[in-house]
Amino acid sequence: MKQIILFALFLAALAGFVSISAFGQHDETTSRGLTAYVKAFNDTLSKGKLDEWMGLWAKNAERIMPHGTQAGLTDIRSAYEGILGTYTSIKLVEKTRTVKGHEGVIECQFDAVTKGSGITISQPVTLTIHFDIFGKITQLKAEYDEEEMARQLRAKRA
């Protein structure tokens, strides 16, 4: 009986170690995914390379914005085509990040110049990104102050 209890304790300890180890691996993978996202936003999407950009996304991904949600690669691609049609320049500057398992949160600054009017906007954004086991984005949720962005656009037109 004593051996069974000791064996059970050993298995419980081993399970804890394995889950902590696996969790650490997910953290590492997620951190790499966040780095890839920001780098690709600045070096790939900003240059209009949509096919390459969409390679970051899982087939059934979801993109949640304050003004609406896009589901699936076709809708997400259309949203980014809209961004490229609105701005001549886009950039993300990462400020902080938090990683836990398959979820990463980055606080960043979105900077852009509008087409036509040349108005520069700068907006803090919080991105919560979930990744699948293959490192593809399954969900991106962006939080930012839409009213502040609109205020910047109005103030710079005046």
pLDDT tens for 104-134 read: 999 999 999 988 888 898 999 999 999 998 8
Q: Could you write out the three-class secondary structure of the chain?
A: CHHHHHHHHHHHHHHHHHHHHHHHHHHHHHHHHHHHHHHHHHHCHHHCCHHHHHCCEEEEEEEEECCEEEECHHHHHHHHHHHHHHEEEEEEEEEEEEEECCEEEEEEEEEEEECCCCCEEEEEEEEEEEECCCCCEEEEEEECCHHHHHHHHHHHHC
- pLDDT tens digit string along 48-107? 999 999 999 999 999 999 989 999 999 999 999 999 999 988 999 999 999 988 899 999
Q: Where do the domains of the chain lie?
A: 2-157
The CATH class given to the 2-157 domain equals alpha beta
Question: How much is the pTM?
Answer: 0.79
What's the mean pLDDT in 135-155? 87
